[in-house]
Chain A
Amino acid sequence: MFTDPSGQISISGLLWNATTSILGYIVAAVMSIWDQDVRDDMNKIGWNPFNSDESLVLNSTKVSFYKGQFVIKSNFTLTSHRSFSFGIMFLVSSMKDTPYGRDVVKHEWGHFVQLSFVGVPKFLIFYGVPSMLSGNNPNYFSLPWERSADLFGGVSGSNWTNPHTPNSGFFSILYLLGVLAI
């Protein structure tokens, strides 16, 4: 039901991403009627959901859009103040407009692309769970489930604690192909 005719690429991810973005846009439009912060945030990106300026995302207060992905900014106490992406980009508000912060936005968008490829169930199992379990790894952004997010987002890795390890990009693509093949 959620795969294309070849059976390789799940369309549930595309559907999920499209739905969250469209709903996010509607929610932002409605909230902007009474919420000045939301209105300012959306005016900042010219109400363009395909905004590609990471700085505008980082300088928003409550919501934004980045390359079609709906962004919510908050403290996220429930997730121990961590940013993450699951269709919607959940970005910690204290993230600053620095080269590091801009790379975080790009990386989270990379997860949006991963989700589009593999679909919701596989994303949760092969990207979400490993990501949660590997948070203390010093080479976190070189792990296969993170590295392809950097590849898709266009993150060089120079601003992370440790630069990408050699061949990590190659292995992340192999991992993605393996997940698609399952």
Chain B
Amino acid sequence: MKKIVLFICLVIFSLSLSGCKPDSYIYDGDYPEVYSVVLNTIPGAEGYMLSECYQDPRIEFIEEDQFGRKMYLYYEGKSISTYSLIIVQYSDAVETCYYLNRNFISSNENNFTESNINSFKAENDWNCEINNDEFTCIPISTLKGPSPLTYEQIKPFYEEIFPGDEHFSDDRWIEYFVSDEYGRIMFTVEARFESKWAIMMFFPDGTYDSENGFLILTDFYTYQNQLKEFEESNNWNEPLE
């Protein structure tokens, strides 16, 4: 019996030491250019799949047009944008480029219709000359950056958006999403017992606009236009006043 207890202790100790931690998770799959685009454009994307270990998300190459644009499937098991098709306009070893706010479509199953795919391709100039002027380019990254704000800074806004949610003391439902060029920050949060996601926007100093600085999503797959309008109404990527 003593041996078993000792063995159990060893098992737990080894688990605590082994290297599969979210803080150290680094994507080592074949498509870092897609991974980088996903982390910067799809709300709620964490960049890994959590079970008994932190596993790479599923990224599958689907198609390439005659000008080198590529379409991929992305899946990491989330309730928001569960399956997404992504179009990367251009990428090299350093950067990856995409059309802002129209670079992905999502579905709850991997069952995108031909007509959805065709209109998605058309929006992304599939089989047309590459248009550098419309690109947004970002550096290729294989890990999600650390949150610029602490949970204590985020929590009051979270409490205002989802009053009565039972996990205000728990930061695991909050995900850092993306920052703009001027330091504004977006976070995503999934309501604990409601079928809702929210996107919260903060100013660089951690303050926020409690009237207009959040967007509640109840449709988790076709929210791209809502997100675009939200960003525009909050002067995303515009100089700070």
Chain A interfacial residues counted at CB < 8 A = 41
- The yes or no answer to A156 lying at the interface (CB within 8 A) is no
Q: Complex: how many Å from CA A9 to CA B75?
A: 40
| B14 cross-chain contacts in A, Cβ below 8 A | 129, 132
| A162-B58 contact in complex given A101-B77, A120-B4, C-beta closer than 8 Å | yes
**Separation in Å of the A36 CB from the closest CB of chain B?**
10
- The yes or no answer to A92 lying at the interface (CB within 8 A) is yes
Q: Complex: how many Å from CA A97 to CA B16?
A: 26
A132-176, CB < 8 A from B:
132-133, 135-136, 138, 140, 146, 159-162
A93-130, CB < 8 A from B:
93-101, 104, 107-108, 120-121, 124, 128-129
Contact A98 B82 (CB under 8 A): yes
Which single member of B11, B77, B172 contacts A94 (CB below 8 Å)?
A: B172
Contact B51 A107 (CB under 8 A): yes
Residue ID in chain A nearest B15 by CB atoms = A79
Interface string of B75-108 (1 = CB under 8 A from A): 0011100100000000000000000000000000
**Separation in Å of the B240 CB from the closest CB of chain A?**
33
Interface string of B1-45 (1 = CB under 8 A from A): 000100110011011101111100000000000000000000000
Q: Complex: how many Å from CA A78 to CA B193?
A: 27
A52-87, CB < 8 A from B:
59, 61, 75, 78-84, 86
- The yes or no answer to B219 lying at the interface (CB within 8 A) is no
Most buried by A among B15, B51, B170, B172: B51
Q: Complex: how many Å from CA A78 to CA B49?
A: 19
| B58 cross-chain contacts in A, Cβ below 8 A | 161-162
Contact B77 A136 (CB under 8 A): no
Question: Taking beta carbons and an 8 Å cutoff, which residues of B are in contact with A?
Answer: 4, 7-8, 11-12, 14-16, 18-22, 49-58, 77-79, 82, 166, 170, 172-173, 190, 193
Contacts A/B (CB < 8 Å), 30 sampled: A59-B193, A78-B16, A79-B16, A80-B21, A81-B21, A82-B50, A82-B51, A84-B15, A94-B50, A94-B172, A95-B50, A98-B78, A99-B82, A100-B77, A104-B52, A107-B51, A107-B52, A121-B4, A124-B8, A129-B14, A131-B52, A132-B11, A133-B18, A135-B52, A135-B54, A136-B20, A138-B56, A140-B55, A160-B51, A161-B58
The 5 closest A-B pairs by CB, nearest first: A100-B77, A135-B53, A94-B172, A79-B15, A135-B20
